[in-house]
Every structure is written in structure tokens, then in C-alpha cells.
Amino acid sequence: MSNFRKTALFLSVMNETTKHQGLRRQLIETLRVKGIQSEEVLNVMLEVPRHFFMDPSLINFAYEDNAYPIAAEQTISQPYTVAFQSELLAVTEGHKVLEIGTGSGYQTAVLLGLTPQVYTIERQHALFKQTQRLFAQLGYRTKKQVFGDGYKGLPTDAPFDRILVTAGAPAVPKTLLNQLAVGGKLVIPLGEKEQIMTRYIRTSKTTFDKQEFGVFRFVPMLENKN
């Protein structure tokens, strides 16, 4: 991180004000109007300071309901999408959750508001390093933050009660279905150009229910070539 970026980040961290709290309250009302109902998710999103997770040049847009560019040509997800995925995931405290695609770390922070057992994987090294620093600065403690390929999941820590993929996958990775606990839920956007939000529920060791929830747009879930 450049010195300029460090300074900008420091200033933004020092800049959590009543203005931001007010903007977050408005954002939460927007999410309600758009159909988000989970009070748990809305309460957590009322607290997580999204402006810390933005590119410093875009901080003024932190509480707009839009996705924005971050480093490594990736995006911070739209708040509505974060709320929608979190609601579908239905996390309760004590759930062990795996997130694929740490990105800006914003969704990770929302998950940490729902359960302390969060594992997250990112394949872009710049984002991995950036969020490592940011989580330390803000006091967010994941169980594990991994630089690696989400297609592999985390076999040593499986099974997971919940798995959340925050990038668009062409097809559901079998590895991730296998790392789900019986009764567990996997939320994943599936498709190439646009994605259908999909939820799998593991109903037994060998069976899964599949549900679909409308169209979204994500950056692609990429496989590492090694």
C-alpha cells in the first residue's frame, strides 16, 4: 500500500461520524423497501462502516446502494446483494461459515456480525493483503483468512454450516457441496454473463435441495491454473 493510501485509510478510519451513521440508517431503509426482511442482517449492516471498505477515492459513495471498483479489477458488492445473500444464508450465532471471495472484506465483516466463526478465501494477493491489514485495524477477527483458490474450499476445516460464494461461478463446484454439513446451506450465484442466485441445502449425505432466487451480476469466480 502506498503512503498516500495508508494516510487516506487512516483519515477515513478516524472519520466514523454521526453523518455516516445517518447515511447507514437511510441505506437500511432502502434495503427494507427493496424487500430485505431479516432484522439480524439489517441490524448488522446498520453497524458495519462500509466506507472503510471502499477505495479511498470513492468513499463518498459508500452508502449508495451500488457496487464499486476496488483493487485488482474486482468490486465491492452492492449492499442489496450483500443483504440478499446474507438473508438467504440464514446464519445464526455458532454457525461455521466459509466465504469464497473476500474482496473488499465488507461481506466478511457482515458475516462476522452474525457469527464469530468465519473463514474467508481470496485469490487476488493484493486484496488478501489489503483486507488482512484492514481487519486488524478495525478489530475484525476471522477464524482464518486464506490466500488461495476457493474452488478447493477448506478441506481441513470442513464441514461448514454455511458456504457463501461472492463471485459468479459457471457451475456449482462439487468440492464446496461436499464440504457442507448435513442441514447446511450453500449460496452461490450461477451463470456466465449474469447469474441466478442459487441456494443448495444439504438434506442428507447424498442429497441436496436446489432453489433459485432471481438474476444478479458478479465478477467471475476464477480457477487457479496450477
Select the span of 18-26, 41-49, 75-83, 183-191 touching ligand SAH (CB under 6 A): 75-83
Helices of type H across the chain = 3-13, 18-33, 39-47, 79-89, 106-112, 125-138, 174-178
Q: Is 104 in the site for ligand SAH (CB under 6 A)?
A: yes
Q: Is 173 in the site for ligand SAH (CB under 6 A)?
A: no
Minimum CB distance to ligand SAH, residue 198 (Å): 16
Q: Is 91 in the site for ligand SAH (CB under 6 A)?
A: no
- From residue 47, how far is each of 56, 109, 110 by CA, in Å? 20, 10, 9
Binds ligand SAH (CB under 6 A): choice among 45, 76, 97, 190: 76
Q: Is 130 helix (H, G, I), strand (E, B) or coil?
A: helix
Question: Concatenated DSSP letters for 9-41?
Answer: HHHHHTT--HHHHHHHHHHHHHHHHTT---HHH
Residue 188 backbone dihedrals phi, psi, to 5 degrees: -150, 130
Binds ligand SAH (CB under 6 A): choice among 52, 63, 80, 106: 106
Determine which one of 77, 86, 104, 204 is catalytic: 77
Binding mask 14-53 for ligand SAH (x = CB under 6 A): ----------------------------------------
Read off the amino acid at residue 69. P
- The answer to whether residue 77 is catalytic is yes
Catalytic residues: 77
